[in-house]
């Protein structure tokens, strides 16, 4: 009996040990899996931005432009699909001018293989770009498991994405349609602390025509107009780009504009911080849609609050990006694409 009991105890002990080992292995596998995907994305995003800092803003913008149109479904990445309503894919939409970072997504996809969706890669890469550009200040959790859509239409992008000449009411309506508040509109617009815009997107801000002009500091407008002409030659195009953030212009430009750098770290070129709001209150932002945030009491107040509180903006920006990254995919047919640029079966 005693022998039996001892034996039974030993067997039970062995089962417990055995179960523990199985659980331990499973936990390890789950952790390794998470680290594997997220770690790979982080490594490749860091390397990409190190190689070309312009890719940071590009990856951040991709999240907005993917998730706003049909939800987060990788639709912005498609070069071709039969389901485009004959208007071309989203990339062909005018409001997607300057969209970039697609090669980074391709590189990540090639490394991760067929089980990770392109839609997941877009939100993970954008999240990591925000972390890198903010020097680790902006962090948020992203749930994965998205699947890729098969529809991508330029007409839908044109109808859904906000335009740079939108007025404050149009901007609020555009965000409300996606269940985002006016406060979140202001918070997310802070992304325009980094990156560039084409002249064609802010041409109206340089205009002297009273019908299209919006308040912009005269000295800044003059400096911008002068730099645009110089950049046409440098970039060899009639539609050159300019940095969004006056912080990122050289000291000569900032001084000529009369920029008050109090509260702005002018050495932090390319850093994703709340400096957008400080430039905005001085009427020194590129887009009309940026300036429009000053044109309603609630949004103007929010601009002022965020300009005075860097930590608050970082936290609210992270929360709003997490919400953006969670916009559910619309549509009925999904897959995990093999290539982010085309659907698996074109027929």
201 part of the interface to ligand HEM, by CB under 6 A: yes
Per rule CB under 6 A, is residue 214 in the interface with ligand HEM?
A: no
Helix (H, G, I), strand (E, B) or coil at 216: coil
Contact 312/344 with Cβ under 8 angstroms?
A: no
**Would you count residue 61 as binding ligand HEM (CB under 6 A)?**
yes
Shortest distance, position 193 Cβ to ligand HEM, whole Å: 8
Structure-token pair, residue 252: 């000569």
- What is the closest distance, in whole angstroms, from the C-beta atom of residue 246 to ligand HEM in the complex? 15
Q: Say how far apart CA 336 and CA 109 lie, in whole Å.
A: 11
Q: Which stretch binds ligand HEM (CB under 6 A): 19-27, 60-68, 84-92, 330-338?
A: 60-68
Q: Does 164 bind ligand HEM (CB under 6 A)?
A: yes
- Residue 58 interacting with ligand HEM (CB under 6 A): yes
- What is residue 213's three-state secondary structure? coil
Sequence-distant (6+) residues with CB within 8 A of 114 are 336, 338
Contacts of 6 by beta carbon, 8 Å cutoff, 6+ apart: none
On whether the CB atoms of residues 286 and 242 are closer than 8 A, the answer is yes
- Measured from the CB atom, is 104 or 191 closer to ligand HEM? 191
Residue 98 engages ligand HEM in binding (rule: CB under 6 A): yes
Q: How far apart are CA 43 and CA 56, in angstroms?
A: 13
- Give the pair of three-digit tokens for residue 323: 């919400």
| Residue 65 designated active-site | yes
Q: Which of 65, 146, 254, 302 is catalytic?
A: 65
Contact segment (CB under 6 A) with ligand HEM among 56-64, 152-160, 219-227, 330-338 equals 56-64
**How many Å apart are CA 94 and CA 330, to the nearest integer?**
22
Piece of 41-49, 144-152, 185-193, 328-336 that binds ligand HEM (CB under 6 A):
185-193
β partners of residue 339:
342
Give the binding-site size for ligand HEM (rule: CB under 6 A). 27
Question: Which residue of 83, 87, 155, 162 would you call a contact of ligand HEM, by CB under 6 A?
Answer: 162
Rounded distance between C-alpha atoms, residue 301 and residue 106, angstroms:
41
- How many Cα atoms occupy the beta-carbon half-sphere of 248 within 13 Å? 20
Residue numbers in the known binding site are 66, 69, 71, 73, 75, 90, 162, 192, 265, 273
For ligand HEM, the binding residues (CB under 6 A) are 57-58, 60-61, 63-64, 97-98, 100, 162-164, 166, 171, 185, 188-189, 191-192, 194-198, 201, 287, 289
Q: Which residues are catalytic?
A: 65
Residues in the annotated binding site for substrate: 162
């Amino acid at each position: 009996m005693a022998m039996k009991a001892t034996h039974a105890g030993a067997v039970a002990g062995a089962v417990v040990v055995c179960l523990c080992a199985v659980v331990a292995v499973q936990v390890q596998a789950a952790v390794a899996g998470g680290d594997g995907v997220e770690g790979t994305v982080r490594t490749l995003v860091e390397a990409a931005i190190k190689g070309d800092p312009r890719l940071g803003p590009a990856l951040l913008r991709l999240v907005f432009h993917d998730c706003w149109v049909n939800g987060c479904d990788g639709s912005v990445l498609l070069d071709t699909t039969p389901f485009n309503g004959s208007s071309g894919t989203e990339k062909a939409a005018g409001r997607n001018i300057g969209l970039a970072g697609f090669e980074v997504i391709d590189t990540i996809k090639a490394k991760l293989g067929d089980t990770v969706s392109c839609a997941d890669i877009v939100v993970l890469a954008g999240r990591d770009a925000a972390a890198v550009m903010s020097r680790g200040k902006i962090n948020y959790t992203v749930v994965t498991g998205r699947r890729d859509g098969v529809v991508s239409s330029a007409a839908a992008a044109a109808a859904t994405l906000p335009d740079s000449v939108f007025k404050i009411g149009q901007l609020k309506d555009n965000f409300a349609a996606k269940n985002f508040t006016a406060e979140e509109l202001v918070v997310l617009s802070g992304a325009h602390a980094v990156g560039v815009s084409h002249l064609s997107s802010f041409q109206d801000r340089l205009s002297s025509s009273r019908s299209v002009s919006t308040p912009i500091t005269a000295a800044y407008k003059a400096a911008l107009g002068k730099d645009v002409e110089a950049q046409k030659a440098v970039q060899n195009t009639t539609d050159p780009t300019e940095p969004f953030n006056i912080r990122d212009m050289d000291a000569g430009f900032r001084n000529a504009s009369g920029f008050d750098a109090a509260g702005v770290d002018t050495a932090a070129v390319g850093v994703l911080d709340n400096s957008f709001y400080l430039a905005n209150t001085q009427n020194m932002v590129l887009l009309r849609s940026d300036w429009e945030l000053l044109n309603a009491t609630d949004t103007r107040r929010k601009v002022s609050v965020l300009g005075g509180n860097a930590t608050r903006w970082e936290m609210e920006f992270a929360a709003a990006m997490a919400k953006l990254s969670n916009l559910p995919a619309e549509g009925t047919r999904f897959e995990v694409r093999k290539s982010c640029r085309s659907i698996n079966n074109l027929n």
